[in-house]
Chain A
Amino acid sequence: MALPLPSTEQASHKRGRTRFTQNGGSNAFRARIESVGAFLPERRMSSRQVVDMCHNKPDIDLEGVTGIVERRYAAEHEDSLVLSLEAIKDCLGHSRYKAEELDIVVFCGITKYDGGIENLRFEPPLSVLISDRIGATKAFSFDIGNACAGMLTGLHVVNDFIRRGVARCGLVVSGEFISHLARNAARRVDGPFHLETASLTLGDAGAAAIVERCDDGSGIATTAFSTLAEHVELCTGSPCPDGPGGHMHTLSREIHQAGTLGTPAVVQHLLNEAELTLDDVEHVIMHQTAVRAIDRCSKVVGGMFGSERPSWFVNVDRVGNTASTSQFVALRRCLGEGRMKPGERVMMLAQASGLVLGGAVFTMDHLGERYVSQD
């Protein structure tokens, strides 16, 4: 015999959502980025200061090689969860949505520090903690992991739910607390080709975006990804064996080469799906690892497509490599500075450990105007 529900449970608990697949027609709707938020810690570290941290006094012109002038390092009370929540605050501050209206909440960060550098959380997932903190307890909440392509993967997933009519709006968020990888690397790096040298480029940041259904034909034209899994071991990050925090081993030359070689095919696919040419795209925001890498990729892509039209945005010089948040931190800056006009097309590109290549193409609407006037 089934047990009756206790009276405490009989009080209405209409929290969750049911999503019917039969409602989900293929591509019945479009989605757009409704708001974007970002958070950068206050403390700035120049590349010179980072190299000076290194015990072995390596001969590295970090700023010269990477173009990174400075990056931000989290304060003691700031970690993955805090950076995420601050970014969400900025995002909701520019949004017409309240947190309780969100249908989906996806945490997409690589790092899941909650309670500082000595606590890397595995359970419960950060998406649940975030939904609880912001009051989005009706939302379908889950974590996605895809290295530095995390947020764009989250966008890809939420876009799919919205296009099929299964959801109306969703939040994609990440908080990357990664400066400790540089501190750990500083104990060992002895030159430009050390496996941990790339860790010196990392900076902390949080980013968030709300994606909603739109009916006016604007918004996200396409999202698409591929994983070249034969390159899966080119960059790996895990807890540091001899100190709190993490460490990362990167075959920098190899991963940049593979990423640059693979990007034109991704760009071609995105353009085909969006029925555009590269000349139709005004802005490209690719994963921000180094100025030289962005420059090289822009030349390769521009050369192959015979177009120098898009402006390839550089933000890494100011904030370093902020992992999965990088494209959205850059987008947030573009919005705040009024760099994107209604009708202009934006391509966001991922190049991430895995090796994950892909991106999204969308048309800017009046979102930028809201940021310039508010900021």
Chain B
Amino acid sequence: MSVKIEACCSMHESDGGSRALASRCAQSCMSDAGGEHVELVIYAGTYRDDNVVEPAQAPYAQRDLGAVAGVSDEHPRGAFSFDVDNLLAGIEIADGMIRSNQAQRALVVAVDRGVGHDEAPGAPVGGLAGALLLSRGDGARFVAFHSDLFPEHKHLREGVLRWTTQGGAAAHRMQIQQDKRYLEACISSTRIALRNFFGELGLSPRQIPLVIASQSPRGLPGALGECFGWSAEQVVQVQGADRELHTAGPVAALDVAWRDGRLGRAERVLFVTVSSGITVSAALYEKPACPMQ
């Protein structure tokens, strides 16, 4: 039994908040996939409308999916939804829940967008949503997941909502600070993590035809290509973004590869995400014609 990527969608919009963007993207993804029921909705994202901490954001997307994620005679338990901070953690959790028969299908929605964050100093986050539908099937599947933690770099990128006074006015202000060494640290951390991952898989970088990577910090996809000998064709880059593409960046990259045919041609896909901490996560996705050696 395997878990495959059934559908993928991304939206890059300047209007509307994170919840509206997440809902529109989730609805579009489910519609593309034929609108069948989904039992698990996971929201992966850091920055959200009004910096709301409760409830989780996933239930809003679940609500706006309507009957597709609701209770019915055929689906008496409806769906379950919650948030995670890390896209590949969300995908791995969803993959596992499908494998253990707790869900037939799972939707992972990744969004970062904060209304009122436009003025955040540091590394502002652009409005981007991505949605990935996973379902049970035979054939294409996630083979393995990997994570590596590099906490020695935890101070190189921080996002903290602080109560501060500026110009005589006290308010909560989001401060996103990214050190100029952050990109270099992401690259070096990813090199180590992927070396570990390839070692455990018994694969070399040249056996990876397609790489879906985090699109931030800026320059990361190209730098990874240079490190591992991958061409610009192999490491998907999302063009035209004027701000950092945060959690949903890899989903946007997958959407690009899906639409331009690179995903269809690749028998093996490496997903790699890098996030502050630094956490490097990776996953190998294979199609049935290419079993891992």
Contacts and interface: CB of A to CB of B under 8 A. Distances in A.
Interface in A121-175: 121-125, 127-129, 131-132, 137-149, 153, 157, 160-161, 163-164, 166
A253 interface: no
Q: Is the interface of B mostly helix, strand, loop or mixed?
A: mixed
Contacts of A18: 144-146, 196-197, 200-201
Counting chain A residues whose Cβ lies within 8 A of the other chain, the interface size class is 35 or more
Interface string B120-158: 000000000000000000000111111111110010011
Q: Which of A110, A129, A354 has the most CB of B within 10 A?
A: A354
B223 to A, nearest CB: 9
A147 B55 contact: yes
A124 B151 CA distance: 9
A122 to B, nearest CB: 4
A119 B160 CA distance: 6
Contacts of A157: 93
A128 B85 CA distance: 11
A223 B101 CA distance: 13
B157 A124 contact: yes
B149 A15 contact: yes
A248 to B, nearest CB: 7
A202 to B, nearest CB: 12
A124 B80 CA distance: 26
Counting chain B residues whose Cβ lies within 8 A of the other chain, the interface size class is 35 or more
A232 B83 CA distance: 14
B78 interface: yes
Given A16-B193, A124-B277, A24 B96 contact: yes
A238 B149 contact: no
B241 interface: no
B15 interface: no
B63 interface: yes
A315 interface: no
B109 to A, nearest CB: 13
A132 B147 contact: no
A131 to B, nearest CB: 6
Nearest to B54: A237
B233 interface: no
B192 interface: yes
Given A9-B188, A120-B160, A142-B85, A19 B54 contact: no
B27 interface: no
Contact of A232 (B63, B101, B147, B154): B63
A21 interface: yes
B267 interface: no
Given A21-B141, A121-B160, A239-B161, A142 B84 contact: yes
Given A13-B196, A20-B143, A146 B52 contact: no
Given A144-B82, A160-B102, A238-B50, A119 B200 contact: no
B83 A145 contact: yes
Nearest to B172: A239
Interface in A3-56: 3, 5-6, 9, 13-22, 24, 26-27
A117 interface: yes
B154 A124 contact: yes
A368 interface: no
B99 interface: yes
A225 interface: yes
B258 interface: no
A228 interface: yes
A191 interface: no
Given A19-B92, A124-B158, A226-B79, A24 B54 contact: no
A122 B96 contact: no
B101 A142 contact: no
A239 B164 CA distance: 13
A175 to B, nearest CB: 13
Contacts of A246: 53
Contacts of B148: 15-16
Contact of A123 (B56, B78, B82, B176): B176
B205 A239 contact: no
A163 to B, nearest CB: 6
Contacts of B80: 225-227, 356, 358
Which 6 residue pairs are nearest across A and B when measured between Cβ atoms? A16-B148, A132-B151, A237-B54, A123-B159, A145-B83, A244-B163
30 contacts: A2-B226, A3-B227, A15-B150, A15-B196, A20-B143, A21-B3, A21-B96, A21-B143, A118-B163, A120-B53, A122-B174, A123-B158, A123-B160, A123-B276, A124-B276, A124-B278, A125-B86, A125-B275, A128-B279, A129-B154, A131-B149, A141-B277, A142-B89, A143-B84, A144-B84, A149-B82, A229-B59, A236-B55, A238-B51, A244-B172
Interface of B: 1, 3, 41, 46-47, 50-60, 62-63, 69-71, 76-86, 89, 92-93, 95-97, 99-102, 141-151, 154, 157-164, 171-172, 174, 176, 188, 191-193, 195-197, 200-201, 205, 226-229, 275-280
